[in-house]
Amino acid sequence: MTFDNGTWWLVVLLLGFATGALIYLIKRSLFGRVDKLDEAVKRLDETTVKKPTYEKDKDKLTGDIERIERDYTPRSVHEKSYDELRADIKTIMQTYLTKDDFIREFSKMDRKIDMILDHAIKQKDKGA
């Protein structure tokens, strides 16, 4: 069997199409997986934390938790303090003067002093 130039041209053209199709399929399957893996790595890189950053944040949070546990006051202690304060307020309201009471008493005292002073002035005028 002998092939002329047209046949060779057709065979080379078919081999070129076959090679191109094979390369396209390999590229699509192989590099498609590579692209998916690249996207997965990018997604992991965006959503995960580096170990030094994690350790630093963990140490900071551990210190915060220890400080909170050390400084924490239970609710029962707060309730007891509130009860003591309420009792103190009740005692203060019963034993201390209000501003109005103080002004009223001071005004009474002022009038009495004025009356004594007037009386002393009259006595001095009578005696002189």
Q: What is the pLDDT along the chain (128 residues), one digit of tens a residue?
A: 677 877 888 888 999 999 999 999 888 888 888 888 899 999 988 888 888 888 999 999 999 999 988 888 888 888 898 999 999 999 988 888 888 989 999 999 999 999 999 999 998 888 76
Alpha helices in 48-98 (DSSP H): 51-71, 75-95
The per-residue pLDDT for 88 is 92
CB 11 within 8 A of CB 3: yes
As a whole number of angstroms, the distance between CA 65 and CA 86 comes to 32
pLDDT score, position 61:
94
